[in-house]
Amino acid sequence: MKAAVCYGPDDVRVEEIDDPSPCGGEVKIAVAAVGVCHTDLSMATGAVPVPYPIVLGHEGAGVVVETGPGVSGVAVGDHVVCSIIGPCEQCFYCLRGQPSLCERAPLFTGTMLDGTTRLSKDGRPIHTLHYQGSYAEAAIVPERFVTPIRRDAPLDVVCGLACGITTGLGAAMMRAGVVAGSSVVVVGAGGVGLSTMLGARFRGATTVVAVDVVARKAERAVELGVATHAVDASACDPVAAVLEATAGRGADYGFDAAGMTGTLDQVVAATRPGGTCVVIGRSMAEVRVTLDTTVLLQQRTVTGTFGGSVHPRRHLPEFVDLYMQGALDIGALLDARYTLDDAVTALDDLHHGRNTRGVIVMG
Ligand SMILES: [Zn+2]
Ligand SMILES: [Zn+2]
C-alpha cells in the first residue's frame, strides 16, 4: 500500500510499504480521508521527537475492511472515525468518567499498544503515529481508538473529528461548558481555535472575539460566522480589545488555542473575575506561566483539556449528527484538499499558514 513515511526531520516520502494486518483487538481501515494537523507537522519537522521511520496521520476516517481476533464493537463495513482518545474503560480515570486521561494510552510511542509495530517496508519495521498512521491507504488501529458513525456522513469532513475539530468543540462545549448569552475570547484562530469558536457559537455565545497575530486568520473567523469580533494581536493590545467588547468586564470564557509564551497571560487578563480559562494546546516547546494569585482570588478557573475532554464513542456520533442536520458546520472550516501524493505539500502549506484545516483525500 502507499503511505507517507517520515524518515527524519523534513524527510517525508510517499512510497509503497508492506500491506499490514491487524492483531488482536485491532481493526484495519481503508482510509478515505485524513486531516492535516499541527501535531503531524511537529513530528515531520522534528520539533517533537518520535521514533523514525514513522507513518504520520492521526485524523483518519474510513471503512473497516478487516478485524483482528477479539474485536467486538466494530465490524467489517463500518464507517469509522479514529480518535486520539482511546479509553480502556477499566483504569482509574476511565472509571471516573475522564476518558481523555486514560492511563493505558501513552502518547507518541510510535508503537501499537503492545509495544510492537504493524507496519514495515521490505520487512523492516515502520512506526505508527498515535496508534493510527493514517497518511496511508490503510491503517491498523486498536478497536478502542475507533468510533463507528452513520454511513451517509462525508468522511473527508468528519475525519477532523478525530483530533483538531473535536478538541476545539469539546473545549467549549464539554470542558468549559459555554452557556447561551455568554462572551468568549479565543486566542489563536487556526483550525482548533475556529472549532472552539464554532462550539461556543453552537452553545449560544453572543460575543466571540477571535484573536490572532495574523490579521487574516482572525478576520476569517468573522467571515465564517463563528466570531463576532476580529482582533489583530500584532497591531493592537488584544486584552484592551476584549475589555472594550465586554463592557470593560472581560469575557466569561477564555481559550488559549495558540499555546505560545504569553498567550495564556492574555487569555487570563481578558477573562472576567469568576470566568473560566482553558488551555487547549501548546506549541511543542515548554511554555511556563506565572499567575498573580489575585487572578484566583477573583474566582477565575484556569484549566486545560486534552482532545476536548470528550468520550469519542458518545460525542463523535453526536457531532456527526449535528453536522448532518446542518446545526454544526464543521465542513465550513475546511479550506484545502490534497491527495496522498501531495502530503509533503499539505504539511508545508500548514507550516506556512496557507491552510488552516487541510485534508488528504485518498484516490
Ligand atoms: Zn483507561
Ligand atoms: Zn491533531
pLDDT per residue rounded down to tens, the chain (363 residues): 999 999 999 999 999 999 999 999 999 999 999 999 999 999 999 988 899 999 999 999 999 999 999 999 999 999 999 999 999 999 999 999 999 999 999 888 999 999 999 999 999 999 999 999 999 999 999 999 999 999 999 999 999 999 999 999 999 999 999 999 999 999 999 999 999 999 999 999 999 999 999 999 999 999 999 999 999 999 999 999 999 999 999 999 999 999 999 999 999 999 999 999 999 987 667 888 899 999 999 999 999 999 999 999 999 999 999 999 999 999 999 999 999 999 999 999 999 989 989 999 998
Residue 347 Cα to ligand 2 midpoint, Å, equals: 13
Q: Which ligand is nearest to the CA of 90?
A: 1
Return the pLDDT at 281: 81
Please give the grid coordinates belonging to residue 154: 462525508
The pLDDT of residue 107 = 86
C-alpha cell at 284: 511543542
**DSSP code at position 287:** -
- What is the CA(82)–ligand 2 centre distance, in A? 11
How many Å lie between the centroid of ligand 1 and the Cα of residue 281?
Answer: 21
Return the ligand number nearest the Cα of 58: 2
- What distance in angstroms lies between residue 77's CA and the mean position of ligand 1's atoms? 27
**Residue in 42, 217, 196, 62 with CA at minimum distance from that of residue 141:** 62
Between the CA of 259 and the centroid of ligand 1 the distance, in Å, is: 26
What pTM value is reported for the model? 0.96
Three-state DSSP class for residue 271: strand
CA of 121 to the centre of ligand 2 (A): 25
* Distance from the alpha carbon of residue 175 to the mean position of ligand 1, in angstroms: 19
SS3 for 306-350, per residue?
A: CHHHCCHHHHHHHHHHHHHCCCCCHHHHCCEEECHHHHHHHHHHH
Q: Which ligand is nearest to the CA of 134?
A: 2
**In angstroms, what is the span from residue 142 Cα to ligand 1's centroid?**
13
- Lookup: cell for 198: 464554532
Question: Ligand 2 center to residue 344 CA distance, Å?
Answer: 17
Name the residue with cell 521490505. 122
| Beta-carbon neighbours within 5 Å of ion ligand 2 | 37, 39, 163
| DSSP codes, 155-209 | HHHHGGGGTHHHHHHHIIIIII---TT-EEEEE--SHHHHHHHHHHHHTT-SEEE
Residues 316 and 147: beta-carbon distance below 8 Å: yes
Q: Which ligand is nearest to the CA of 163?
A: 2
Residue 283 has what pLDDT? 67
CA distance 287 to 274: 24
Q: What pLDDT sits at residue 108?
A: 84
Of 293, 306, 295, which Cα lies nearest the Cα of 270? 295
